[in-house]
Structure 1
Amino acid sequence: MGAALQSSTPRPRLVTAMLLAPAGVLFVFMLLVPLVVILVFSFGERAPAGGYAPGFTLDNYANLPARGKAFLNTLTLAPLGTLLTAIIAFPMAYFLAVRCDPRWRVTLLVLVMAPFWTSQLLRYYAWIMLLGAKGIPAWLSFLGFPDFRIINTPWAVLIGAVYGFLPLMVPPIYVSLEKLDKRLLEASADLGATPIRTFFQVTLPLALPGVATGSMLVFILLMGDYILPQYLGGGKVFFIGNALVDLFLQSRNWPYGAAVSVALVGIMFVTIVLYMRFVLGKADQRRAALV
């Protein structure tokens, strides 16, 4: 009877495979197949009327330096915007997780996420008004700082990046800090450590997984963003996203656009893998040292 019951019980591996099958099929067709198509297109040629013509050439990759300005802006401003967002998000998350009254915690978290309730385009239009000639520069001119221009500069893009992606950075850091054992902070203070030393040796290392997760989310979205540099950069701060729109929709040079896309995906993949291995490795080492 026991043998019959055991034989009628599904195998754990089979059950696991059946549960993962829908997500696996969706992953293949929604992510891997488009990437394969883009990769194939990147080796093709531009058709006479635009679009894709079958072929095999490496000229598209050889011409990548022609979009060097877009790559440079993206690889400079995207990491810098991610860093600034993390620096601003960390004190907010720390206050919510450690210092905030639990009765107000949920309300404040909802307020942090509130900007996502409105259209991204509308929010950037609001920043165009604030950073334009009649906004903050006019106030600065009144205070004695004339000819101060913010809109259509890299600074405007960075301000928009921090504002637009801050709600994505705060929750992961908050989750990591919420699990922080406050006895470790008390022990550090009892051993004579200053608050700054406690922060860098206890709080920050234990929060690194959340910082890494939030940074990855913000970095990926910034690397491929089109609306932010288009509106706050005024077309003068050109990102890869802007280059792709130009190549696919205006120039209709699909193979070259595909090569730029493949290069962008490759850069993001290598950067994220190295960053996550470094940050999470440091976090594991510090956690082991504390234990």
Structure 2
Amino acid sequence: MRSRIQSKLQSAELWQSFIVAVPYIWLLIFFLIPFFIVLKISFAEYILASPPFSKLFRLADTGAMYMTLIFDNFIYLWEDDLYLNTYLNSLQISITSTILCLLVGYPIAYGIARATPTAKKILLLMVILPFWTSFLLRVYAWIGLLADQGTINNFLIWIGIIDEPIKMLYTDFAVYVGIVYTYLPFMILPLFASIEKLDMTLHEAAADLGSRPFTTFRPITIPLTMPGIIAGSLLVFIPATGEVVIPEHL
């Protein structure tokens, strides 16, 4: 009987180890190995061969192994302002987009977390619903909305607010709109998870002591939901930094 229990415990431990090992194996194969390959290429020299870069390790006739590191690629990055300005511009767009997603997503997540159970399910479904549509199709939809003869300009002209179309497409405004629209669910969901766990008795106690809602929001709500803020900000900032499709089309 004891041996059977021990065998079950061992099998359970092996199964748990396998489950834990799967994401690490995934990261090793699809992240670390490609990263080190690219890192190796960055220290090599471009040559007309296959593969089109020089070898880092060379074996001499004496049997000794030599490693040759070429830093020309990194020097070129700092000498050419194009790459530095492009990277700084990407950081500016990603940081601004993250802040906008936080400002828009926090009230939405707070409202969903405080809704009734039935309304909460419907609202969460509406947040997740855009993922059921192709990302590229959603970007193209914004082209039709923001174009000079698009839906928004035609509507504003029709109601008499403007006399001629406003240039929105192929501007920074369009890029921010596209990024915020695309990555807003990644901000809302972590915030919702943090806000839903809030102990509302803390707010009630603060109200009993004469604290106003906004005064309570700063010292209580924000610190307690900081994990969701950090998680959502990372989920938006990291992919927004390397975003290509939205700036290319909008």
Question: Quick check: TM above 0.5?
Answer: yes
Of structures 1 and 2, the larger Rg is shown by: 2
Offset at residue 51 of structure 1 (A): 6.7
Give the helix-richer structure, 1 or 2. Answer: 1
**Which amino acid is the alignment partner of residue 53 of structure 2?**
A
Aligned counterpart for 1:122 among listed residues 134, 137, 161: 137
Q: 1:54 to 1:121 in 2, by over 3 A?
A: same
Offset at residue 33 of structure 1 (A): 0.7
Q: CA RMSD in A?
A: 2.6
Q: 1:21 to 1:143 in 2, by over 3 A?
A: closer
Match of 2:32 in 1: 32
**Which amino acid is the alignment partner of residue 171 of structure 1?**
L
Match of 2:72 in 1: 59
Match of 1:277 in 2: none
Aligned counterpart for 2:194 among listed residues 167, 176, 199: 176
Offset at residue 49 of structure 1 (A): 7.3
Match of 2:61 in 1: none
Secondary structure (helix, strand or coil) at the match of 1:202 reads helix
Alpha-carbon contact 1:140-1:146 (below 8 Å) kept: no
Q: 1:184 to 1:63 in 2, by over 3 A?
A: same
1:92 is the counterpart of 2:105: no
State the distance in 1 between where 2:116 and 2:5 align: 53
**Which amino acid is the alignment partner of residue 173 of structure 1?**
L
Where do 5+ consecutive residues of structure 2 fail to align?
A: 56-68
Match of 2:62 in 1: none
Offset at residue 52 of structure 1 (A): 2.9
- Identity rate, percent: 36
State the distance in 2 between where 1:19 and 1:104 align: 35
Match of 1:110 in 2: 125
State the distance in 1 between where 2:148 and 2:50 align: 40
Q: 1:50 to 1:61 in 2, by over 3 A?
A: farther
Match of 1:72 in 2: 88
Higher normalized contact order (CA 8 Å, seq sep 6+, divided by chain length): 1
Alpha-carbon contact 2:101-2:180 (below 8 Å) kept: yes
Offset at residue 203 of structure 1 (A): 1.1
Aligned counterpart for 2:174 among listed residues 143, 146, 156: 156
**Which amino acid is the alignment partner of residue 40 of structure 2?**
V
Within a 5 Å distance, the mapping from 1:255-266 to structure 2 comes to none
Alpha-carbon contact 2:149-2:165 (below 8 Å) kept: no
**Which amino acid is the alignment partner of residue 178 of structure 2?**
G
Within a 5 Å distance, the mapping from 1:1-291 to structure 2 comes to 10=10, 17-48=17-48, 52-55=52-55, 56-65=69-78, 66=80, 67-98=83-114, 100-135=115-150, 136-140=152-156, 142-144=160-162, 146=164, 148-232=166-250
TM norm structure 2: 0.82
Q: 1:134 to 1:15 in 2, by over 3 A?
A: closer
State the distance in 2 between where 1:137 and 1:114 align: 26
Alpha-carbon contact 2:206-2:216 (below 8 Å) kept: yes
TM norm structure 1: 0.71
The number of residue pairs the alignment matches comes to 230
State the distance in 1 between where 2:138 and 2:76 align: 36
**Which amino acid is the alignment partner of residue 37 of structure 1?**
I
